[in-house]
Chains A and B, each alone.
Chain A
Amino acid sequence: MSDPVVADTRRLNSKPQDLSDAYGPPSNFLEIDVYDPQIIGVGRGRYTTYEVRMRTNLPIFKLKDSCVRRRYSDFEWLKNELERDSKIVVPPLPGKALKRQLPFRGDEGLFEESFIEERRSGLEQFINRIAGHPLAQNERCLHMFLQEESIDRNYIPGKV
């Protein structure tokens, strides 16, 4: 069968693909949107929250469509939990913007529109990168962040 003069470069035999697999929805659907910034509270204690909406068909997530409100410090909490408990290299968050919290600024500081948009975009990138990581998907903190209404900071860390 094998001709020693000219190499046999014919393709290896493979099973024909099932058409429902070929044309059906992919099994890797995962989309997280960070949108609708809202300023909560009055005066000096104000802070911004964002809507975090996840749509997925990955079996590891209990809810295929979830919607929660989160603020910047919640994202920081998630980053810290993952850095401590998982072996993954956690991507960076958008900056803390401490300067913007100082008084006597010419602009709105933390609530400047362009800043909020920049931060929103950075948070969206961050959460999409994390949620797609196979190892991060095993961490309970990620599931709590994405799919439970509020984050219980006294939770017991662990794997799903």
Chain B
Amino acid sequence: MSFFGFGQSADIDIVLNDAETRKKAEHKSEDGRKDKYFLFYDGETVSGKVNVTLKYPGKRLEHNGIKIEFVGQIELYYDRGNHHEFVSLVKDLARPGELTQSQTFDFEFTHVEKPYESYTGQNVKLRYFLRATVSRRLNDISKELDIVVHTLSTYPELNSSIKMEVGIEDCLHIEFEYNKSKYHLKDVIVGKIYFLLVRIKIRHMEIDIIKRETTGTGPNVYHENDTIAKYEIMDGAPVRGESIPIRLFLAGYEMTPTMRDINKKFSVRYYLNLVLIDEEERRYFKQQEITLWRKGDIVRKSMSHQAAIASQRFEGSSHPEKSQSQSTEEDDS
């Protein structure tokens, strides 16, 4: 805003070339609102146009240069002044001069590296954005366009199950098993809890998913724990030899992929917390980290093939391999 009478000003607008076709993804902002942004992946080109529209037609706009930047940065809430930029690309659109009329500038950032996923958390934010700036002597005019980046992975080669025996000596021994250690965001946790010794009066058992965001280093480390999900898996008192199944669908919960030491600034990790509660409200728990990853969308196979797979999951199937485990289930009931 000019302080000296009616100086010329301009509105900036950034439009992507593939705005019609590019998918948008929902992302929660700091205040909790959910907005949709254009979705990009690592290596994709970011191209478009910058429209500079003069506010008062006829008057010229003097400027010290027009540029567009592509920025990827990490912002720690307790240290707002310092933005840690891990990606910073600039394209000059116009040398210092003047605009006599509204103008459009093309830009292209080819095959941009976007190494981390966009993240808005409790103490830290990682974001990517385009910023177009018209530099002027007294005050710049700029406009930002936020985008969202997702990092994709494929099925890990090694994905061992988690199997452990834990307990309190002479009081409670259980063996818990989760079918994998790495789950994608729409995966299912399949597991079981096997009771070896039960000398306490258990009232119920649940499994919680806990997200832990860690920011800072050295003496100033902040951990923010958030219980994303609480899922009761057993109601009532178990006895020795009982096996309680777990089937927890992850797609229903808002989670991000596991992020480890992003740019040495923060981590986001997920834990499964198995909690047993006894008659006197005492809680016995065992926490276990799991790795979450994001799977890319796949082209859906034909409906008939999908239906064939789904039918194998139903009871009473004639599939030979399945009928063995089926009979075990039937005996228990």
Instruction: List residues of chain A with CB under 8 Å of any chain B CB.
Output: 3-18, 21-22, 24, 26-28, 30, 58-60, 128-129, 132-134, 137
Q: Does B31 contact A (CB under 8 A)?
A: no
Output the least CB separation between A61 and chain B (Å).
11
Specify the main secondary structure of chain A where it touches its partner: loop
Seed contacts A16-B331, A128-B280; 14 additional CB < 8 Å A-B pairs: A5-B306, A6-B309, A10-B190, A11-B325, A11-B329, A12-B191, A12-B245, A14-B328, A15-B243, A21-B241, A24-B239, A26-B237, A26-B239, A59-B170
Query: B201 touching A11 by the CB < 8 A rule?
Result: no
* 17 pairs, A vs B, C-beta closer than 8 Å: A4-B298, A5-B306, A6-B313, A8-B190, A10-B322, A12-B245, A17-B332, A21-B242, A22-B239, A27-B198, A27-B239, A28-B200, A28-B201, A58-B199, A134-B168, A134-B172, A134-B200
Closest to B282 in A: A133
Q: Does B208 contact A (CB under 8 A)?
A: no
Cβ-defined partner of A16 (8 Å) among B155, B197, B332: B332
Query: A5 touching B200 by the CB < 8 A rule?
Result: no
Total B residues in contact with A, Cβ cutoff 8 Å: 43
Query: A22 touching B325 by the CB < 8 A rule?
Result: no
Cβ-defined partner of A9 (8 Å) among B171, B172, B247: B247
Query: B192 touching A132 by the CB < 8 A rule?
Result: no
In the bound complex, how far is the Cα of B247 from the Cα of A59, in angstroms? 35
Contact status of A5 and B198, CB under 8 A, knowing A10-B190, A12-B192, A134-B171:
no
Residues from chain B with Cβ under 8 Å of A14 in the complex: 192, 194, 243, 328
Query: A28 touching B310 by the CB < 8 A rule?
Result: no
Closest to B172 in A: A134
Closest to A58 in B: B199
Cβ-defined partner of B313 (8 Å) among A10, A18, A134: A10
Output the least CB separation between A53 and chain B (Å).
18
Closest to A20 in B: B241
Output the least CB separation between B39 and chain A (Å).
22
Q: For A9, A15, A129, which residue has the most chain B Cβ atoms within 10 angstroms?
A: A9
Q: Which residues of chain B from 303 to 333 have any CB-CB distance to chain A below 8 Å in the complex?
A: 306, 309-310, 313, 322, 325, 328-329, 331-332
Contact status of A27 and B325, CB under 8 A, knowing A12-B190, A132-B278:
no
- 4 nearest CB pairs, A to B: A14-B243, A17-B241, A21-B241, A134-B171
In the bound complex, how far is the Cα of B242 from the Cα of A15, in angstroms? 9
Query: B240 touching A11 by the CB < 8 A rule?
Result: no
In the bound complex, how far is the Cα of B188 from the Cα of A3, in angstroms? 13
Q: Interface readout for B133-172 with A: 1 if CB under 8 Å, 0 if not?
A: 0000000000000000000000100000000000010111
Query: B243 touching A17 by the CB < 8 A rule?
Result: yes
Closest to B240 in A: A21
In the bound complex, how far is the Cα of B170 from the Cα of A13, in angstroms? 26
Output the least CB separation between B156 and chain A (Å).
12
Residues from chain B with Cβ under 8 Å of A134 in the complex: 168, 171-172, 200
Closest to B193 in A: A14
Residues from chain B with Cβ under 8 Å of A4 in the complex: 155, 298
Q: Does B279 contact A (CB under 8 A)?
A: yes
Query: A60 touching B280 by the CB < 8 A rule?
Result: no
Residues from chain B with Cβ under 8 Å of A11 in the complex: 190, 192, 245, 247, 325, 329
